[in-house]
Amino acid sequence: MVKAIDTSVLLSGVRLQNPVIPASGTFGYGEEFAPLYDLNILGAISTKGVTREPRFGNPTPRIAETPSGMINSVGLKNPGIEAVIREEFPRLRQHYHQPIVANICGFSIEEYAENCRRISEETDAEILEVNISCPNVQHGGMSFGASPEGAAAVTAAVRAVTKKPVYMKLSPNVTDIAAIAKACEEAGADGISLINTLLAMRIDLRKRKPILANTMGGLSGPAVFPVALRMVWQVYNAVKLPIIGLGGISSARDVIEMMLAGATAVQVGAGNLVQPFACRDIIRELPQVMEEYGISSLSEIIGAAHQ
């Protein structure tokens, strides 16, 4: 029997009491969940993605259900970086005193760099998570994360403006995820987050038209877990950086499996939208599952399935 259970992990010098992080875009800025349970049980919080200007997001409908998941096309709705710095982060700190992962978005390399500089200098976020699934408006709308060159360019620009750990959040809608992760590592990234959502769509049979106003959106939920696990496995083999694994995690067993594949920490996304207590319940369940599988320390199983 395992006598002492250690759920803590270390992300680029930032200690998390457990590896469970609500994923960006599924937890708001934290305040919405504060009345439900003590947010301080979380390992960290990844805040809703922020852009330079306020964004209303895409037209509705923005959500479509799927078997074992959902498709969203919210469109990075957020109040803009000024409001996030002035209002959202101070409001979150009234409830929450554990590490914050600030999710940063942009539509140009300059915007990414400026947003990261501002968040780094004017908030106490411990880690910057840079979402390079955003469309590059200067180059025909292809996402920055679609090529090693694009990913490296954003990474280098962000690295130049902050001393805080930089984690690049990668899109799964690519041919070679490992090559893109490697390019981020060579450009100065401190870690990798993956995966973002998979491009998908649904059609309304009666209306004979796409359900989403934007036609396509991002698939998340348990259906994508095996894909996310495979990509975490591949990236772990390609780089020597810590990985935050996400995509369909809905139980403590999923957390263990993702860490065995190579993740140091995990994010729970769509699960929060289905069950607002998802992260709390996974954290409560972790010690029991660790004991069941003879695990005394989570940090010791990172990438263990590769051995």
The residues annotated with a catalytic role in the active site are 134
**Are the C-beta atoms of residues 167 and 128 closer than 8 Å to each other?**
yes
**Are the C-beta atoms of residues 80 and 52 closer than 8 Å to each other?**
yes
**Are the C-beta atoms of residues 192 and 235 closer than 8 Å to each other?**
yes
C-alpha to C-alpha distance for 170 and 180, rounded to whole angstroms: 8
The letter for the amino acid at 164 is: K
Cα–Cα nearest to 222, from 67, 116, 77, 36: 67
Cα–Cα nearest to 71, from 203, 178, 167: 203
71's tokens: 């498709």
305's tokens: 């399935």
**Are the C-beta atoms of residues 38 and 20 closer than 8 Å to each other?**
no
Neighbours of 119 (CB within 10 A): 24
C-alpha to C-alpha distance for 111 and 92, rounded to whole angstroms: 24
**Residue 146: helix, strand or coil by DSSP?**
helix
Residues with Cβ within 8 Å of residue 38, at least 6 apart in sequence: none
C-alpha to C-alpha distance for 23 and 132, rounded to whole angstroms: 15
**Are the C-beta atoms of residues 136 and 144 closer than 8 Å to each other?**
yes
- Reading across the β-sheet that carries 265-268, which strands appear in turn? 20-22, 265-268, 243-246, 191-194, 166-169, 127-131, 100-104, 45-46
C-alpha to C-alpha distance for 242 and 246, rounded to whole angstroms: 13
